Every structure is written in structure tokens, then in C-alpha cells.
Structure 1
Amino acid sequence: MAAYRPGVLMGNWKEDMCLEEERVRDFIQKRERGELLTQKINRLNDNLFKKVKLSVSTNGFVCFGDTVMLLSPSKEPSGWRDVEACGELTLAVNLEEVSIYSPVSLRSPCAVSAISTTGPVGRNTFCILSVDGGSVGEPVKFGQKFGLGTTGGFSHPMFYLGSDHRTFMRFAKKTHLQQVFLTDEPSYLTCWQANFLDPQMRLEYEGIPVPANCKLIITHCHTNRSLAVPRNFWGRSYFGREYEVICHTYLDSHRAEEDKNYWVIVTGNPGDDGGAMHNRPEPQPGGTGRNVS
């Protein structure tokens, strides 16, 4: 019998070697299929977080075919306990619903949320769609039906923002009110309309083009309830807080919508820097309209 030497293998060396070879083969197979975590993160960045160029409004109105963001304006800090919930929020695809296997895809119906990212990216930009025969480039009018479709980053060509009456089986997770979702089939559930902010002037503005980058009310045509962000119902994801978006009309003592129902349809900045109009710096007296450090 040979004496023990440092080169003699001890223990379950054969099993350990086979397990290591199996791990290497598994790694190579996952890399070829694009299932490694780093590859999934890169796909997310290339799709949902890729910068999107918003449409520039040449006439000051929102038009069919425009790529826009739906922004919930900032609130007064005095009225909210949580200061973080007071900032600007944009409507976006809920990342919990996203399958990160190649290609990036959504499951219908898919939830939406409001996020603090106010820069235009794949997950928070939408296209204004015509549902009554309006042509691309024609202004959207107050009281006119329109659709909202996702702009990119998904294997399916487009998903549509929709809502439906609350039932015992279908409601928003946190508020238990009427839910808002994305679906892959356009229907009467995916029709919306813009209403003038002041309810006393709403009839007078019926049929007038909708101005871009101004506060307004977005109402679901089928249920006649308005798009809202309560801001006190939220969940935490890997990318920060995501606030629940619902369809519910919040009315004050004067029967006017509260600021939870306020929205701004944001278009692109025509300047050289691009971006969105709500991020455009205010012009300074005697200056060129740009921030000067």
C-alpha cells in the first residue's frame, strides 16, 4: 500500500469534480439562452428604461399619434404627512408584471403604477390613439374619445390602458376601488376622454382642442370615473416607491375634482436638449431661457 502523500486525493473528490463540471455546463447553457441575471438586467435597461423622445407639440395641442407622458402634478407638502409623496409622478407599467425572459413581455392584464421618474423612458411613455376615426396629427378635443397605448420595450406590439367596474373579484389591491390595467385588446374599456379642469366651464370647452402641458381631468368613458393617484397607497420595488393608480372621482365640497384627479399630458421640449416640457428651465430676465450656474 502506498504511503500517504500531499498529492493523494481525499474525500468525495470525484463527486465534487462532477458537480463543478455540472455547474459550468449549466452556466454556459443559461448564458446561451440569455437567462443570466446580468443579461436580464441589461434587457430591462435596453427596453423599459431606454430613453424615449416625446413628440413636440408645434401648435400647443395634444394630437393623435403623439408620444406623451401622463404626469400627476406635485402637491402641497402641508397637506401630506409623507413629503416623498408630494413630488411629480408619472403613469408607468408596473414592473412586477414584467417577464424579463427574452424578449421582454407583459402578461395581460397588466397593472400600472405611478412612479417618481419624470424623465421619458420606455415604461412611462404612451401614444395617443384614435378610436373614432381621427387622423394622426389631428388635435384631440375635450370630450372626444381616445386611447392610450404603450410605446415600446415589449414583445407585443402595443398594450392599451383600460379600466372596468369594480366587482367582488376585480378591484385595486390596496384601495379596493376601481382598478386600472393594461390589456392587449382594444375595446370600449380602453376609451378615455379629457375634461376641462373647471367643472363650471366644462360644457363651454366641449369640442375645443386639448392644450398640452396643462392640468386637466382624464375620465374613463365606460364607467365615467376619473383617473387618480391617491398617493397614500404605495408599494416598494427594487426601483423605489410605486404608487397605486385607480379610477375614482374625488370631489370636494364644491363638487369639483380634487388634485388627486389632476393630470398633465406632457409633450417634448423643442429645444436642443430635448427631454420633456415640464423639465424645461424657466426663462430668466435678460437671459436665454437656460439655467446658468
Structure 2
Amino acid sequence: MDLFCSFLSSEHLINIKQRAASTSSGAAEASPLRLNIAAAASTAVAIGSAAWYYHLYGPVAQAATPAEEGLHPAKYPWVHEQMFKTFDHQALRRGFQVYREVCAACHSLNRIPFRTLVGSVLTVDEAKALAEENEYDAEPNDQGIIEKRPGKLSDYLPDPYPNEEASRFANAGALPPDLSLIVKARHGGCNYIFSLLTGYPEEAPAGAQVGAGLNFNPYFPGTGIAMARVLFDGLVEYEDGTPASTSQMAKDVVEFLNWAAEPEMDDRKKMGMKVLVVTSALFALSVWVKRYKWAWLKSRKIVYDPPKGSSGGH
């Protein structure tokens, strides 16, 4: 009887183990399936998200007509865009003069402090004198009244208008953009700004439709721009005696605006040259060290010397 009971209990244990084994094998088979489903779902979500993002922001906006796109500017040989060239500081000085006498009446340059002009465009004394020509709000006095003070080098170039509403009112509803980053903010950069300034014809060509209060310029998208032609031959008298032709003034002010967008360019190029020299020296040194360190391994010779046979033989 005891033997029979033990036999039944052993059979019961075997059945339990078999069921457990089948359950574990089923779970093992189902686990990769769930992983595959999760991976496929994640991939589908990622691809769908990328496709939706491209649908919203990926396609390039194309103009419906060539007039809406504007005439593409020619590419001019700007010297400061070359790798080993810097800004022409005489041109920067002339360009700042054009900005002050022509552009500053409508356009601001409110990201440039007077101190940035020192060394690149003006001397320290010239920058201080220019800053003191303007008045800025001082700290409130004991009575809480904000008084005016002369400008200093840490102040930023003043805006021509106190607010946006005054700017629009003075320009027939148009808002003149700030010129601090205008070269970087426009497709074509220096080429576009130069072409725009020099691209005003004497009169609009036949068939061109120009809205009321607008001026024809083929380089401006839509060909109708609120800004009239502002540069004319001899408009500015350069202090260095350079002839102030329209193209010369446009070239100088564009180079100045390019400097305003990245005044650190000269220093960045100088630092880049130093980095290239140092990294080249370090690379050459590392090659020499590598060859010196591994020369023993790469130049060694392994000679196999078979053992001499014993006199007794095998």
C-alpha cells in the first residue's frame, strides 16, 4: 500500500513538472513575440512622428511666381569671407559713417554697445564722445524721479524711435527692421543686402505692378518694398577721401553690417589659426610617439629554432 501511494505521488509530481515545463516554454515562446510587437509599434510611432514633422516643417516654401520670390542676387567676392582674411577696418569705419548719416534715421542697431566699436571702428575717445551725444535714463533719485544722463561705453546704440508704434507711424505703417543681425537673417547675406541697396531702377519696368506707397526693387520678394532708394552718388563725404559712389557706400555699409552680426569674426579666425598650428604639432608628435613606442614590436623578427634530435631516437 505504501509502495502504491508513493508511486501515485511520484506520478503527480511528474505531471506537475510537465505542466510547469509546458507553461514556461509557452511563456518563453510568447515573450519574443511581445518584444517583436513592442519593437514594431515603437518603430511605427517613430517613423510616423518623423513623417508628420516633415509634413509640417520639412518642405521648402516655394514662391508661387518669380516676382514673389525676388531676383536672386549675384555672388560678389567679399574679401572678409575668405578663410585667412579679416574685415577691412577702413571699410568698417566708412560703413558706420553711412549707417549714422543715412540708415540710422529709420533703422536701429540695438544689439551693439558703444564699447564694441572700440578698436574695430572707432578709437576710445571717439566712441566716448559719440556715446555722450545721447541721453539715457539714469537710476531713480531719492524722490523716485528718473533723470537723464550722458551715454557711456556700456550703453547700446540708441533707437531712432521710442517704440514700435512710433516707428510704424513715421513710416506709413511699415516697420523698419533692426539691422544688428540683418546680414544673417536674410538669405543671401551680404550679396542680398548689397543687391537690394543698389537694385533700385530709375523707374519700374513696363508691366510691373507696384502697390501704393511701395517702390519697385527686383531683389525684394514681391518686388514692392516700402523703403525708397536711399543711396545716391556723393551723398556722404568720406573723411578719408574715398569717392562716395552708390556701390562704394553700399559695399561699406554691408561690410559694417556683417561686422555687426559677428564682431568676433577676426578674433575667431586668429584663434582658429592658433588651434590649427597647435593641433598639427600635436598630431605630428603623436605619430612620432606611436612609431617610437611600437617600433620594437613591428620591427622584431621571430626565428624558429627546431630542437635537435636526441641521440637515442624514438
TM tier relative to shorter chain: under 0.3
TM-score, scaled to structure 2: 0.26
Larger radius of gyration: 2
- Greater share of residues in helix: 2
